Amino acid sequence: MKRIQDRYSYALIVLRGLVKTDFKLRYQGSFLGVAWSVLKPLMLFAVMYVVFGKFLRMTDGTPTYPVVLLLGICSWNFVAEATSIGLHAIVDRGDLLRKIHFPNYIVVVSATCGSMISLAINYVVVLIFALFNHVHFTWRVLLLPLNVIQLWALALGMALIFSTMYAYYRDIAHIWEVLQQLIFYGMPIIYPLSYVTSKGGFYAEVARFELLNPIAQTIQDIRHNFIAPETQPTVWNQFGHWWVPAIPLALTVILLWVGIHVFRVNSRKFAEVM
């Protein structure tokens, strides 16, 4: 028991050290320093708000849609960033892995934790926009942490798989970049899901199945619980059967399990193959 505790306390110390360093280094040398971590999303969101909301008039007809859009984009950005940085983590930290012994899953976890910090800051910025848009918050906001944990589990599972593959095959980085785009447009992130479902027919049926994709499901849940419980379709309210929502949840668990398993099997050899 003591050994397990020792092992994880060491892992936690290393994790804290790495996350802290990465965060410190992120805005190193810039004039405004850490302030950028808030300023950057604030400015980016302002641009997107104007372009998508006012200029392109991308909307599902509800006044809160611009905020919903921001929430979706920054949630997706978290997945994209965590997996891309996580993918490179093992190779980028190769010098560490070759020289000291420490639980090497830490470097991947720390990469996703770094993105989690950005996500938290982004959510705060979204909250500011939401307040300006007179969003009515409900008790469902309390469910948000669960959704965020699911999103993190998804990102971590993918990051573990990709970083393992990347240690052997550098092609993965490029493949994943392209796949990211595909997934991005295959999910209702910049377009509202109702935009497709309202058209009816075959496409509407297919669109509903987009919600079985755990990433789409999580992002829709986040939007639903955080901003717009009335207007956002989720896997919970689109299908009549109780077992349908279990599919994306199960997929999340399976993805994370596969990630951990693949990583563990190969992690002994990382120091040698790099």
Smallest distance from the beta carbon of 105 to another protein, in angstroms? 15
Report how many residues bind another protein under the rule CB under 8 A: 28
Identify the residue among 2, 4, 29, 134 touching another protein (CB under 8 A). Answer: 29
Site string for another protein, 230-249 (x = CB under 8 A): --------------------
Under the binding rule (CB under 8 A), the answer on residue 34 touching another protein is no
Under the binding rule (CB under 8 A), the answer on residue 16 touching another protein is yes
Torsion sign over Cα 25, 167, 182, 205:
negative
Residues 6+ apart with CB under 8 A from 273: 167, 168
Under the binding rule (CB under 8 A), the answer on residue 17 touching another protein is yes
Site string for another protein, 169-208 (x = CB under 8 A): xxxx------------------------------------
CB 124 within 8 A of CB 226: no
Smallest distance from the beta carbon of 96 to another protein, in angstroms? 6
DSSP code string of 146-196:
HHHHHHHHHHHHHHHHHHHHHHH-THHHHHHHHHHHHHHHHSSSSS-HHHH
Location of structure tokens 């490179």 = 88
Smallest distance from the beta carbon of 8 to another protein, in angstroms? 12
Binding to another protein, residues 68-97 (CB under 8 A): 95-97
Q: How far apart are CA 265 and CA 114, in angstroms?
A: 25
Under the binding rule (CB under 8 A), the answer on residue 271 touching another protein is yes
Q: How far apart are CA 222 and CA 196, in angstroms?
A: 20
- Copy the structure tokens of residue 71: 């929430």
Location of structure tokens 């942490």 = 145
Under the binding rule (CB under 8 A), the answer on residue 54 touching another protein is no
Under the binding rule (CB under 8 A), the answer on residue 5 touching another protein is no
Region binding another protein by CB under 8 A among candidate stretches 19-27, 184-192, 242-250, 252-260: 19-27
Smallest distance from the beta carbon of 29 to another protein, in angstroms? 7
CB 235 within 8 A of CB 84: no
Residues 6+ apart with CB under 8 A from 189: 72, 73, 76, 216, 219
Q: Which residues bind another protein (CB under 8 A)?
A: 9-10, 13-14, 16-17, 21, 24-25, 28-29, 95-102, 168-172, 268-269, 271-272
